[in-house]
Structure 1
Amino acid sequence: MGGVLGCAQEYRAVIHWRGGARPFTSPTVEALTSVRWNRTINDQAEAVVTIAKATALECCGPLGEVEPYVHELSIYRDSDLVWQGPIVRAVESRTAWRIEARDVTEWLARIINTQVLRFVSTDVTQPKHVGPVQEIADTIIRLNVNDPTWSTPPDWCRILPYIARDDAPTTTRFEKDGTTDTAIWLVPVLKVLDDELVPRGLEYTTVGRALILGRPQTATDRPQARLTLDDIAGDVELIKDGPSGAAIVWATNQVQDDISQAAWGVSGYTNTAYGRLDTLQLSQAENMSGYDLLQLAQASIVGRFPVPIGLSIPAGSRLTASAPVTIDQLVAGVRLDVEATGMCSEVTVAYRLTDVDVEWSASGEQVAVSLVPLGDDPDPPEGA
């Protein structure tokens, strides 16, 4: 996809009924005094819009009827939908309305898991079977959102048609509390993703209404765009960060006072230019097997070997309007390459985009990004 970031000519906010399809009210562009929205990886994105009451008289009544979780906020950058999710708070002052919303993962944060989490079967005809961690996350979401006992009607929040997956090539075995086949872990579905599936290689993010269940990008993935330092406003530092590097990652579930039942996994390289450069990842998750910890070690070495070259963007720095990347390409988790021209270290470094933070007001639009180095996804050492 070609194009440049550009600068938004206008922003619009539309309040929809839950599901994001049927409009409820839409204040005029002139009434919208500020907009703030973001995209992020493995966390909830948020949006806030401020509406001046003096120029929104035609929708003052409807704004007074806005209900959290009944209505959703949609944000349009020019004509493109860039953000959508349930309203969680509506605040009215004497002069303005402030509408606060979270992305569609908020629905998963408010759904308590009612499913037995036991994905150990190799029979692919069964709804719960071993497979890519993204498929397991998809299955857990669908079973809960469609649970006929509690979800009336099924998929009342209308997120299932908007799930997109980028499956990892590896297969994952997952169960929560293997001591029984009937125990149910009563926690929000989003906590299942955060505590159990993200450590196994899941990455999730949202774009508009889409919920993307993806995987960490590697050096074999195609970059969405190639930037230079001229595309980043403000001063920039390139840092070769030794303490963040590692040639070998060990992962274990041992605790200090009891190591008798500990398991471990290891991933990385030996005989490197760094010599012995280890790091240790401690997992507090329950029932982590050696296989689970191997997956954690494999995921944790991404970005650590070779020693990462970090890009430091001071607070307030942003992408320039001429940056050769469109707002649609700024999806948390994707690969962006940065060419460090004009520096003594003239290198091109691959990064993962972790956050996009956008602010718009009468003074214009600012698009800020957070980047972390992208590492190879190495094979585990023989015998691990």
Structure 2
Amino acid sequence: MAVAGCGTHTARIIDRSGATVSTADVLTEVEWTRLLDDTSTARVVINPDGNCCERLGRVRSWRHKLMVYRDGEFVWGGPIIQAEWSLGQVEIAAADVLAWLDRRVPHQDIEFGDSDLTDIASWLIEDGFAPDDPGHQVEVIAPAGVRGAREYRRDVGQTGDHLRDLAETGLDYTAVGDIIVLLPETHTASVGRLTDADLPDGLVVAEDGTALATRWIVAGDDEGDVLGEAGGADAYYGLLERYLEQTSIPDDASATAAARSKLRSSLPVPVFIDSQQVTISPQAAVSVPKLVPGWCVDVTSATTCRTITQRLKILGVKVTETGGSGNTPGSESVQLQVAATGAETA
């Protein structure tokens, strides 16, 4: 059985060509994250030794990538977006492979008919990287199960924004290294189990009423020519209506499908669990590299007044290691945010 363990990190900086610019074995701070439906980040503070200092002086944003390893296993990678050199240390900040899509636009006009959202997302990604690919893969776990039409115009809008719009209406995605993973919002495969014993410093259970809606209206324009809706007054909550406009939706049927997806994920009230920036026990029955947003963990907790025994979706992962030196590993903290939404309840 896999356990979380206490990891030690190393890092490497590589060029677009794949050549190693510098290793970064002496790390005093490491932080890497994974996020659902957005771009994650990483940060390292390096104490350069020997000729490592000269090599680190050549680091350039967007030209070079940061690669992070936990106990020798690759866990995070992406373009460097900021570097700071100071006396005795170099601090590097990076974003994952999705960051490039926030610097890309559609490169041709296209109209999708009745298509699964994963097919549309795959096209957006491949088109975004087509003129200049720094290295990426797309892995489709399963179709989204939400279908609709979409239209994109050459040079209109950032590709990353178009991808986030799809994620609002029935698709999940995340980045793991160079792999962009596409999966349905209803994906419920579990990668481990957590109990109160695995969270010795406690957790917070929060109900997010701001995300609740009992009726969704989705429009393709602000004129009301393309419109879809789902839901209505709820016997328990009453009527709470939300409106969303996405100009890439060209017809009423697609807008209705998007509204149904939004309703599924916002009714009942989403419940979130956060481990309060504390360390998951090293004996917890989870493998840290396998904590990927979009997958689930089974959580059983009775330490708060809101008892939880449920399979919950991973929304975010944050791993930090601090205080390390060349001979002494630092202390690692693994923070996990999970949630129960209408999709998981269904």
TM-score (norm. length: structure 1)? 0.78
Distance 1:140 1:209 in 2: 16
User: Cα 1:211–1:254, aligned 2, differ >3 Å: closer, same or farther?
Assistant: closer
CA distance in 1, matches of 2:204, 2:344: 26
Residue 101 of structure 1 deviates from its aligned partner by: 0.9
Label 1:260 to 1:210 Cα distance change in 2 as closer, same or farther (>3 A).
Answer: closer
Q: What residue in structure 1 maps to residue 158 of structure 2? A: 188
Pairwise CA distance, 1:205 = 0.8
Q: Percent of counterpart pairs with the same letter?
A: 25
- Contact kept in structure 2, 1:200 and 1:292, CA below 8 Å: no
Alignment-derived partner of residue 3 in structure 2: 4
Change (3 A) 1:86 1:116: same
Cα distance in structure 2, aligned partners of 1:75 and 1:323:
22
Q: What do residues 306-364 of structure 1 show as CA deviations (whole Å, max 9, x unaligned)?
A: 454543544x3342212111012210121222112466765512321111111111241
**CA distance in 2: counterparts of 1:237 and 1:303, whole angstroms:** 21
Higher Cα radius of gyration: 1
Aligned residue for 1:90, secondary structure, equals strand
Q: How many residues align?
A: 338
2:263 maps to 1:264: no
Residue aligned with 1:211, SS: strand
Matches within 5 A, 1:39-50: 39-50=34-45
Match of 2:321 in 1: 360
Aligned counterpart in structure 2 of residue 164 of structure 1, from 139, 143, 153: 139
Structure-to-structure mapping, 1:267-286, within 5 angstroms: 267=231, 274-275=235-236, 277-286=238-247
Equivalent position SS for 1:283: strand
In structure 2, do the counterparts of structure 1 residues 343 and 158 end up closer, same or farther at CA, with 3 Å as the change threshold?
closer
Shift of the 262–326 alpha-carbon distance from structure 1 to 2, 3 Å rule, reads same
**Letter paired with 1:24:** V
| Structure 1 residues 272-322: Cα deviation after superposition (integer angstroms, max 9, x where no partner) | 7x44633322113226443233233222233444454543544x3342212
Partner Cα separation in structure 1 for residue 156 and residue 73 of structure 2: 38
Q: Equivalent residue of 1:68, what SS?
A: coil
For 1:295, the aligned partner's letter is A
Question: RMSD between aligned alpha carbons?
Answer: 2.8
In structure 1, distance between residues paired with 2:209 and 2:59: 51
Q: Which residue identity is paired with 2:127? A: L
Deviation at 1:199, TM superposition (A): 2.5
Question: One-letter code of the match for 1:353?
Answer: I
**1:192 to 1:117, Cα distance in 2 relative to 1, 3 A:** farther
Q: Please, which runs of 5 or more residues in structure 1 have no aligned partner?
A: 121-129, 177-182, 380-384
Q: Which amino acid counterpart does residue 164 of structure 1 have in structure 2?
A: E
Give deviations 1:183-230, integer Å, cap 9, x for gaps.
Answer: 5243322122123x2233222211122111222135xx3322221122
Change (3 A) 1:145 1:262: closer
Alignment of 1:1-384 (within 5 A): 2-8=1-7, 10-18=8-16, 21-27=18-24, 29=25, 31-53=26-48, 56-120=49-113, 130-146=114-130, 151=131, 155-159=132-136, 162-166=137-141, 167-176=143-152, 183-195=153-165, 197-218=166-187, 221-238=188-205, 245=212, 248-253=214-219, 261=225, 263-267=227-231, 274-275=235-236, 277-286=238-247, 288=249, 289-311=251-273, 313-314=275-276, 316-341=277-302, 347-362=308-323, 363-376=330-343
Which structure has more strand as a fraction of its residues? 2
Q: Which deviates further from its counterpart, 320-329 or 78-87? A: 320-329
Partner SS state of residue 138, structure 1: helix
